[in-house]
Structures are given as structure tokens and as C-alpha cells.
Structure 1
Amino acid sequence: MEISVDKNVVEFKPGNAQETAAMELLWRVIVDCMRENKKLVPIGEYIPTKENLARFVIE
């Protein structure tokens, strides 16, 4: 997965079919054409030397 940040815009570019399927699922959960879209909110901390994992909750 390639992640790029340009000011307040973040782009995620899947690198294989499994990541593409996961991105499509995430998109469908967050984007709702009939109602309000949801948002990802970070939880906990991201310290790569401790655990290379970032967590978000969907609100």
C-alpha cells in the first residue's frame, strides 16, 4: 500500500488485489451516498519502533 500526504489530502494506493479489495470494502463502509459520510478517527498511538500499526475507529 502506498500512502502519500499533500497538505490535508491523503492518498492510499493499493499495491495488490488483496489491498484493492480491502480499500473497496473500507470505501463502502465510509462513503454513504444517501446519508452522511463517516470518518476515520485515530485511536491510541503510532510508534513504529514499538508496534508498526496504526488504528482508527470509524465514526
Structure 2
Amino acid sequence: MALGVIFLLITILAFIGAVREFKKKNFFAVGFAGITVAVFGWFSVRTIVAFIMYGGGGTV
């Protein structure tokens, strides 16, 4: 569960960074932050769902 929380924190920070860089019109950084949000967001959601549904340690 700690891994899911860490991934979720990374996702939130990357989203904040994407918004900040979008305001500066730095689209290269927005692209990388968007990819980070997509990947880490997916893993955090799936890790938390697996923990809830299977009681931790189970694979989906």
C-alpha cells in the first residue's frame, strides 16, 4: 500500500508541474509531465485497487 501512496504523490506533483509548465508554455516539459501522470497514475490506482480487492500482495 505504501508503494501506491508514493506513486500517487508522484502523480500529484507531476500534475502540478504540468500545469505550471503549461502556463510558461514549455510544452516539452508538459509532455514529459503528462506521460509521468499517465504512467504513475495508472500504477497507483491499480496498486490501491489490488490492495482493496485482494488484501495486499495480490496481482490483478
- The verdict on a shared fold, with TM-score over 0.5 as the criterion, is no
Higher strand share: 1
Higher relative contact order (CA 8 A, sep 6+): 2
Q: What TM-score does the superposition give when structure 2 sets the normalisation length?
A: 0.31
Higher helix share: 2
